[in-house]
Chain A
Amino acid sequence: MQNLGINAIFQGRNFQRLFEGLLITMEISFVSIVIATLLGILIGLSRTTKNKPLLLINRLYLEFFRIIPTLVWLFVFYFGVTTALNVDLSGLSVAIIVFSLWGAAEMGDIVRGALQSLPQHQTESGMALGLNHWQLYLYVLIPQAVRRTLPGTINLATRMIKTTSLVVLIGVIDVVKIGQQIIETSRFEFPTASFWVYGFIFVLYFIICYPLSILSDKLEMKWNN
């Protein structure tokens, strides 16, 4: 009787190893999402100023990260920046740097959009009350902007989690790489392993991203009304 390929997932420590790989994937996503959010808020705030050179730099930064695919950035940092600066960065650090920079650019745009979507009279009322610049942002604009950024931020987080699957291409041992190792080692015992292992990883990503997308849709619907 032919061995069912799905057993390859449960052979030995394979199941546990897949989850260890998933943990790496989650670690990269989590760290980059946190850094991207913090950096993105600063960038978003800086994009509401009227300082022309600052706006131009911000604009170029966003457009460059939007236009050039993330995988290209991973390559540029993994092969190029490490050679240029003569530093030794692991694939993991490169992944975190690239995802943080990319996420920060996108997050900056979300924050800017939220701040600019606030009605002008909020700023004017705040100023009429005699709030200074910082008080205006701290007590009036930011609290209102946060709820408007939340659906977009969660959406960005799902996109970043999905994109972390690319790190396997710069040699990080993530869930995809461990899946490939399992397929290699069980090539003779379970010939159909590749179907089941990739199917399993497919399901894993879905299980992580689906609740987040639902949450984002729900928040958007709730706050649109």
Chain B
Amino acid sequence: MNIDWDFIIRSLPLYADAVWITLHLAFWGILISLAIGLVCSAILYFKVRGLSKVVKVYVEISRNTPLLIQIFFLYFGFPKLGITLSASTCAIIGLSFLGGSYMCEAFRSGIESVSKSQIESGLSIGLSNTQLARYVVIPQAFSVSLPSLGANCIFLLKETSILGAISILDVMNVTKDLIGMYYKTFESLLMLVVVYVIMLLPLSILLTWLEKRVRYAEFGN
């Protein structure tokens, strides 16, 4: 297996551009999912009537369907209803739709992990519901949900690999083009794997470190 290093160097700019596109989409997808997750978990925590049901249905639908079908539906199906979205908009909406429910679950499990005695103590010293959430529940819940929020970010970044299917010029598409045009199979695949390792390995190491740190934050149980 001879690797054409020259080819790899020449194709570096292509991969660099593609990585920026991927990171850009992942950034917005993660940011919006966090917002959706925060709002949804707040709705579940305060048991907002009517909306809780909607959130539960949304979470189930989004968790039990593949991202590929979600973005195909958005990209190819929605224009038939007169709603035409660009590929990158579809990608961000798809990622946020999928990620929102995962983030919501992460926040929710954090909130649920706060022990009852903490909430009761808070109430007994006369905190209002908002104060209770602000000073007792959220700080503890956040430290518990942090590892799963991190895992979700990694998950969403990995899921961006699918976006090539709706003609976004990400690393998957660049690889496929290079294989198709120059038959440089090994070089392109090597670059593909290396690119993902570079993007995800630091995050994964950070996450392992976070998980260890967070154990110190457990109290009140």
Interface positions of A (Cβ within 8 A of B) = 5, 63, 66-69, 71-72, 75-76, 79-80, 83-84, 158, 162-163, 165-166, 168-169, 176, 183, 191-192, 194-196, 198-199, 201-202, 205-206, 209-210, 213
Q: How far is the CB of B49 from chain A (nearest CB, A)?
A: 23
User: When A and B form their complex, which 8 residue pairs have the shortest distance between CB atoms, in order from nearest?
Assistant: A209-B64, A195-B77, A165-B66, A69-B161, A192-B80, A195-B80, A162-B66, A69-B158
Q: How far is the CB of B156 from chain A (nearest CB, A)?
A: 11
Q: How far is the CB of B26 from chain A (nearest CB, A)?
A: 12
A165 in contact with B68 (CB, 8 Å): yes
A198, A205, A213 interface centre (most CB from chain B within 10 Å) = A198
Of A5, A84, A192, A213, the residue contacting B63 (CB under 8 A) is A213
| B209 CB within 8 Å of chain A | no
Besides A75-B175, A205-B64, A205-B69, 10 more A-B contacts (Cβ < 8 Å) are A67-B200, A69-B158, A72-B196, A163-B66, A192-B81, A199-B77, A205-B66, A206-B64, A206-B65, A213-B63
8 A Cβ contacts from B128-177 to A: 158-159, 161-162, 164-165, 172, 175-176
Of B1, B77, B179, the residue contacting A198 (CB under 8 A) is B77
Interface positions of B (Cβ within 8 A of A) = 1, 60-61, 63-66, 68-70, 72-73, 76-78, 80-81, 158-159, 161-162, 164-165, 172, 175-176, 179, 185-186, 189, 192-193, 196-197, 200-201, 204
B172 in contact with A75 (CB, 8 Å): yes
Rounded to whole angstroms, the CA-CA distance of A199 and B76 in the bound complex is 10
A79 in contact with B68 (CB, 8 Å): no
Of A69, A83, A158, A196, the residue contacting B64 (CB under 8 A) is A158
Rounded to whole angstroms, the CA-CA distance of A105 and B63 in the bound complex is 22
Rounded to whole angstroms, the CA-CA distance of A176 and B189 in the bound complex is 25
Given A205-B66, A209-B65, A213-B63, A198:B73 Cβ within 8 A: yes
Rounded to whole angstroms, the CA-CA distance of A163 and B68 in the bound complex is 9
CB-nearest residue of chain A relative to B165? A169
B72 in contact with A198 (CB, 8 Å): yes
B69 in contact with A79 (CB, 8 Å): no
Given A194-B76, A194-B80, A69:B185 Cβ within 8 A: no
User: CB-CB < 8 A to A206: which residues of B?
Assistant: 61, 64-65
User: CB-CB < 8 A to B60: which residues of A?
Assistant: 210, 213
User: CB-CB < 8 A to B185: which residues of A?
Assistant: 79-80, 83
B161 in contact with A202 (CB, 8 Å): no
A-B contact pairs, 11 of them (CB 8 A): A69-B161, A76-B192, A79-B179, A162-B64, A183-B76, A196-B77, A198-B72, A198-B77, A202-B69, A202-B70, A213-B64
User: CB-CB < 8 A to B70: which residues of A?
Assistant: 202
Q: How far is the CB of A133 from chain B (nearest CB, A)?
A: 31
Q: How far is the CB of A24 from chain B (nearest CB, A)?
A: 15
CB-nearest residue of chain B relative to A158? B64
A166 in contact with B200 (CB, 8 Å): no
Q: How far is the CB of A121 from chain B (nearest CB, A)?
A: 21
Rounded to whole angstroms, the CA-CA distance of A165 and B67 in the bound complex is 9
Q: How far is the CB of B25 from chain A (nearest CB, A)?
A: 14
A199 in contact with B68 (CB, 8 Å): no
Rounded to whole angstroms, the CA-CA distance of A166 and B162 in the bound complex is 8
User: CB-CB < 8 A to A198: which residues of B?
Assistant: 69, 72-73, 76-77
B64 in contact with A67 (CB, 8 Å): no
B196 in contact with A191 (CB, 8 Å): no
B73 in contact with A79 (CB, 8 Å): no
User: CB-CB < 8 A to B77: which residues of A?
Assistant: 194-196, 198-199
User: CB-CB < 8 A to A163: which residues of B?
Assistant: 66
Given A75-B189, A75-B192, A195-B81, A202:B65 Cβ within 8 A: yes
Given A198-B73, A205-B64, A213-B63, A68:B193 Cβ within 8 A: yes
Given A68-B193, A83-B185, A5:B65 Cβ within 8 A: no
A67, A176, A201 interface centre (most CB from chain B within 10 Å) = A67
A68, A168, A196 interface centre (most CB from chain B within 10 Å) = A68
Rounded to whole angstroms, the CA-CA distance of A193 and B61 in the bound complex is 22
